[in-house]
Amino acid sequence: MLGLMQDRPLLISQLIEHAALNHADTEIVSRSVEGPIHRYTYKDCAARCRKLANALTKLGTQQGDVIGTLAWNGYRHLELYFGVAAMGAVCHTVNPRLFPEQIIYIINHAEDKFFFTDLTFVPLLEAVADKLSTVKQFIIMTDRAHMPETKLANVLCYEELLDAENDSYQWPLFDENTASSLCYTSGTTGNPKGVLFSHRSTMLHSYCVCMPDALGLSAMDTMLPVVPMFHANAWGIPYAAAMCGTKLVMPGARMDGEAIYELMETEKVNLSAGVPTVWMMLLSYVKENKKKFTYMRYTIIGGSAAARSMIETFKYDYNVEVLHAWGMTETSPLGTSCRPKKKHENLSDEEKVTLSLKQGRAVFGVEMKIVDGNGKDLPWDGKQFGNLLVRGPWIASGYFKGAGGQAVDEDNWFDTGDVSTIDPDGYMQITDRSKDVIKSGGEWISSIDVENEAIGCPGVAEAAVIAVPHPKWDERPLVLAVKEAGSNVTKEQVIEHLSKTLAKWQLPDDVVFVDELPHTATGKLLKNKLRDAYKDYKLPT
Ligand code: AMP
């Protein structure tokens, strides 16, 4: 017997129209690429999304067309997020930090029909435009006064396009499984692969993001997403914010510590989200300038593991709690969130920090398991680690146009490429990327564990740990570390610091100081580049 509930499709148009009606005067504040702070409301945003849909219709956009963007976190990008998807087209966010060849590949592979760009990325597009085979028109996201001289052909001005339209538009109803946005993962090898989200997956993911034990957004919050809208849909925050009427503060092109801090204070931001590298910049700014946070309550860290020293600095020095979360582009991205349970209420502060080092419990909707090399399930004992597999309604079933072949097994389990433990309470802890674990004499050493401890050593700003071939043990760990400005920290001091928490066989064989470490376009350590550079490195032992 079927239930008698309405079969209304879950569509992104409902998000922005809901916000326009129920949170009409809630603000969206952006640091514009042109410079000044821009502010308007969800009601204004929805009206401009409708204008955008009218403009795109006139330009000839059909349902299913892919519309590219190269843009920072800002109000115009938000209009594209909602407007493009709501009309039935696909919003394809391109990561400007990729190499030009990858950008060309991605835009051609996705077959972007129209392309929207912030002023910042006009030169980047000029350099590759003649290799883009599908783009009919470029739209520069600014007003007439700021339109640059450009070599790009077929250029339109965003504000002129919107000014010419009225703000009534009837959003179409269609199947909730229709594609809504597209985001390419920046793997360390091979071409990037496209993850194609649907209206249904985005909406279900948004409900989840708002839950108190997930990211816990609400109409009482002011959220500053530092995580870019060109990386994994800014962790779904723009959609979730519209769902529950959260005030949004968008940092635009200025991601430096000073600019982020200033916005946090002037806009009374109480929660934020980003990868550890941006928090390193923010923390060093507030430390150097002896600042305090007036409103910040908690910050979400994901994308890479949050180190103990960072969690402790936020907590003890600045009274800001860290919420550690894990996910990947293929998981929309939220997979786990590290919220405590009632039973953890009376833990000591130190024990609470230890708990928050874990990546967290699966949010409802995400099933998770760990398996050994033969695919056999491993127990949730917090000790045994294996390949982490996930499945659920916002986990990818395959890559765009079948790239990379089969992405899930016959039971829909997706192999994340991460290695982790899961404890009896369901808390998952990443030990490594499967290709980054260091295999030393039959034992596995977690490069992430060693990195996190190394970063806690006074004088060390950043550290990467890689495997170096070893005649006896197969592989041994090597630490590559960047010193803090003015620090004279030595190799012996780093090893001495590590020996407080690591077993002898886990200690690195050597520490090499470098000026900087290479990162991927999404801020993760580029370990394969380091492995290549140090593959012939002679360890002292
Ligand atoms: P991306 O698709 O670029 O967001 O990258 C996803 C990958 O980032 C995951 O598979 C993990 O390897 C890594 N990652 C994400 N969140 C965390 C975290 N909290 N701790 C450690 N690694 C993480």
pLDDT mean over 320-347? 98
Residue 401: which region, alpha, beta or left (left: phi > 0; alpha: psi -120 to 50)? left
Q: What CA–CA distance (Å, rounded) separates 170 from 68?
A: 23
Q: What is the pLDDT of residue 189?
A: 62
At 61, is the pLDDT very low, low, confident or very high (cuts 50, 70, 90)? very high
Q: Which pLDDT band, with edges at 50, 70 and 90, does 521 fall under?
A: confident
The CB of 202 under 6 Å from ligand 1? The reply is: no
Q: Is 359 in the pocket of ligand 1 (CB under 6 A)?
A: yes
SS3 249: strand
Report the nearest atom of ligand 1 relative to the CA of 305: 20
pLDDT of 294 over the 90 cut: yes
* CA nearest neighbour of 115 among 168, 165, 87, 152: 152
* 329 Cα to the center of ligand 1, angstroms: 9
| Residues 73-93 pLDDT 10s | 999 999 999 999 999 999 999
Percent residues over pLDDT 70 in the chain: 99
What pLDDT, on the 0 to 100 scale, is given for residue 180?
98
Give how far the C-alpha of residue 480 lies from the chain's centroid of Cα atoms, to the nearest Å: 25
Average pLDDT on 505-521 reads 92
Q: Is 418 in the pocket of ligand 1 (CB under 6 A)?
A: yes
Is there an atom of ligand 1 within 6 Å of 433 CB?
yes
Q: Which residues pair with 239 in a beta bridge?
A: none
Residues labelled catalytic: 185, 330, 439, 444
387 within ligand 1 shell (Cβ under 6 A): no
pTM (two decimals): 0.91
Rounded to the nearest angstrom, the distance between the alpha carbon of 514 and the centre of ligand 1 is 24
Average pLDDT over residues 438-445: 82
- What single-letter amino acid sits at 291? K
In our burial notation (b when 16+ CB lie closer than 10 A, e otherwise), range 342-370 reads eeeeeeeeeebbebbbbbbbbbebbebbb
User: Which amino acid makes up residue 483?
Assistant: K
Averaged pLDDT, 29-50: 98
> What domains are defined for the chain?
435-533 (3.30.300.30)
Q: Is the CB of 336 under 6 A from ligand 1?
A: no
* Ligand 1 centre distance from Cα of residue 18 (Å): 32
Angle between helices 12-22 and 237-244 (to 10 degrees): 40
- How far is Cα 311 from Cα 307, in angstroms, rounded to an integer? 6
- Rounded-to-integer distance, Cα 483 and Cα 448, Å: 18
Question: Which among 279, 328, 339 is the best mutation to test ligand 1's pocket, defined by most ligand atoms within 8 Å of the CB?
Answer: 328
Average pLDDT, integer, range 418-440: 92
Whether the bond between 96 and the residue before it is cis, its omega within 30 degrees of 0, is no
Q: How far is the CA of 157 from the centre of ligand 1 (A)?
A: 37
Q: What does the block give as tokens for 90?
A: 């696909």
3-class secondary-structure state, position 417: strand
**What's the CA gap between 44 and 112, in Å, rounded?**
27
DSSP string, 77-114: HHHHHHHHHHTT-EEEE--TTS-HHHHHHHHHHHTEEE
Structure tokens at 239: 């959609």
Ligand 1 centroid to Cα of residue 416, in Å, is: 9
d(CA 473, CA 441): 4
Other CB atoms within 10 A of residue 472 CB: 8
Joined tokens for residue 383: 């000790």
pLDDT at 188: 58
Q: What is the mean pLDDT of residues 51-70?
A: 98
- The tens digit of pLDDT for each residue in 185-237 reads 866 567 899 999 999 999 999 999 999 999 999 999 999 999 999 999 999 99
Confidence at residue 541, expressed as pLDDT on a 0 to 100 scale: 64
Region 448-462: mean pLDDT is 93
